[in-house]
Structure 1
Amino acid sequence: MSEVLLQASGLRLAFGGVKAADGIDLGVMKGEFLAIIGPNGAGKTTFINMTTGYLRPNAGTITYDGRRITGMSPRAIVKLGIARSFQLPQLFVEHTVEQNIALAVASRDGIWSPLTPLLRPRFRDEARDLLGRFGLSAIADTRADALNEGARKLADIAMAVALKPRLLLMDEPTSGVAASEKMEVVETLARVLRDAAVTAVFVEHDMDVVERFADRVAVWSQGRIAALGPPTEVLNDPAVQRDVIGIERHA
């Protein structure tokens, strides 16, 4: 049986009268790719925010590799080996792609100066290596604000991978990416992350991406997990097709 890397137990969080998490219990297995699907407002991003320290649950616990991380700061959680990417890429738009990655590499070492990482060869060398793995070498000297959405997404996730996480949480990695580029983007992500033995949790609305790349699928509904299992089982569930997949395809 696979080893549990992340365990959420009894997570509850409400915003006023809205229950964003209503008793979430979920174990993420080491080495797996877990997709989270569900309609807007179901609590998917809230789960990522609680796991990465941006929100604190009202009740429940989150443990990572056997250590309780509930309520820890985002920076402390990153140091333990958990990284994330956002629905909207968080890039330094005035810098080149290589410079963005170099800044991320330096931050892993506790260096936050905006200039030092750009002057030290070891940071830039590691950045170039990572860009090669993501297939981004050709745009290394391109400013981030000149990238198309697919390249922006890859560069944003490359910055997260530069932190050398064991667990990466991605919020809609294909959001805004042209349909013709989606599969290529996700294939690149899957190859890099599996080669680096990174466990991945990703929120996704494209069911073709989920079916092709997820090892398991968790369905969120009104702050709860409505279904959990292999993609073929979950995506063929009549209730999921009616309540989730129908919504996604209509959208």
Structure 2
Amino acid sequence: MSEALLQARGLHLAFGGVKAADGIDLDVLRGEFLAIIGPNGAGKTTFLNMATGYLRPQAGTIAYEGESILGLAPRAIVRRGIGRSFQLPQLFTEHTVLENVALAVAAREGVWSPLRPLLRPAWREEATEVLARFGLATLAGARADALNEGARKLTDIAMAVALKPRLLLMDEPTSGVAAAEKMAIVETLARVLRETGVTAVFVEHDMDVVERFADRVAVWSQGRIAALGPPGTVLADPAVQREVIGIEGPGAAAAGLPGGIAAGHA
């Protein structure tokens, strides 16, 4: 069995009366692609925010490569080797695609100025290589605000990869992307991440994407992990089909989240 790269234990976080995390226990295994699915408001993005320092749990622990990362700022967590892409791409819209990735390379080297890094040829060369991996070389000179949503998503993830993470957390990488582009985009990012040995966790609502690319699937429900297992097992469960996918089937009416999911608890 693969070793755990990230370990979360007993995570609790509430916003008023809403439990965004209610005892989350999860191991992210080195080298895997782990999909997180669940209805809106289940706490999926909250987990990503806790793992990347944007939120701090009220109880529980998060360890990366065996060391606690609780209390670290997002930049410090990035330096440890955890990258992040967002549901809405975080791009410098007045800069070109190449400049955006060059800025990420510079940030990895500890330079955070929006201007100085772009003057260093070595960083621009590395950014060019990253863009080529993602099939974005032809868009290198295009301004970020001129890109379609699919190219914006890939550029955002390319920036995250330029930071050379060992673990990448992605929040809905296909959100807003045209249906005809989705599979090609995920094929590209999956290929790049596997080639570079990056472990990936991704929140996703498209079950075709989950079934095709995930090694394991974790189902979030009311701040808890209701099921965890291979896509074929989890996605076939009647309760998951009803509560997450929106399909009614035999036995679905009797099943319920979180207790009725056959795939088991995390």
Q: TM-score scaled by structure 2?
A: 0.92
Aligned twin of 2:165: 165
Aligned twin of 1:203: 203
| Separation of aligned partners in 2, 1:114 and 1:231 | 42
Deviation at residue 79 of structure 1 after TM alignment: 0.6
Q: Secondary structure at the match of 2:246?
A: helix
Say yes or no: does 1:156 pair with 2:151.
no
- Measured against aligned partners, the alpha-carbon deviations of 1:149-184 in whole angstroms (never above 9, x if no partner) come to 000000000000000000000000000000000000
Q: Secondary structure at the match of 1:50?
A: helix
Say yes or no: does 1:123 pair with 2:108.
no
| Separation of aligned partners in 2, 1:192 and 1:217 | 21
User: Which residue identity does 1:86 align to in structure 2?
Assistant: F
| Separation of aligned partners in 2, 1:123 and 1:116 | 11
Say yes or no: does 1:73 pair with 2:73.
yes
Say yes or no: does 1:33 pair with 2:27.
no
Q: How does 1:26-65 map to 2 (within 5 A)?
A: 26-65=26-65
- Measured against aligned partners, the alpha-carbon deviations of 1:73-125 in whole angstroms (never above 9, x if no partner) come to 10110110001000000000000000000000000001112221111100100
Aligned twin of 1:244: 244
Deviation at residue 217 of structure 1 after TM alignment: 0.2
List gaps (5 residues or longer) in structure 2. 248-266
Aligned twin of 1:224: 224
Aligned twin of 1:212: 212
Aligned twin of 2:174: 174
| Separation of aligned partners in 1, 2:88 and 2:41 | 17
| Separation of aligned partners in 2, 1:45 and 1:242 | 21
Identity among equivalent pairs (%): 80
Deviation at residue 72 of structure 1 after TM alignment: 1.2
Q: Secondary structure at the match of 1:21?
A: strand
List gaps (5 residues or longer) in structure 1. none
Deviation at residue 67 of structure 1 after TM alignment: 0.3
Root-mean-square deviation (Å):
0.7
| Separation of aligned partners in 2, 1:126 and 1:243 | 44
Aligned twin of 1:18: 18
| Separation of aligned partners in 1, 2:172 and 2:133 | 21
| Separation of aligned partners in 1, 2:114 and 2:208 | 40
| Separation of aligned partners in 1, 2:178 and 2:114 | 32
Aligned twin of 1:91: 91
User: Which residue identity does 1:152 align to in structure 2?
Assistant: R
Q: Which runs of 4+ in 1 moved over 6 A?
A: none
Aligned twin of 2:106: 106
| Separation of aligned partners in 2, 1:230 and 1:175 | 23
User: Which residue identity does 1:15 align to in structure 2?
Assistant: F
Q: How many residues align?
A: 247
Say yes or no: does 1:193 pair with 2:200.
no
Q: TM-score scaled by structure 1?
A: 0.98
| Separation of aligned partners in 1, 2:239 and 2:165 | 35
| Separation of aligned partners in 1, 2:127 and 2:214 | 28
| Separation of aligned partners in 1, 2:85 and 2:176 | 14
Aligned twin of 2:2: 2
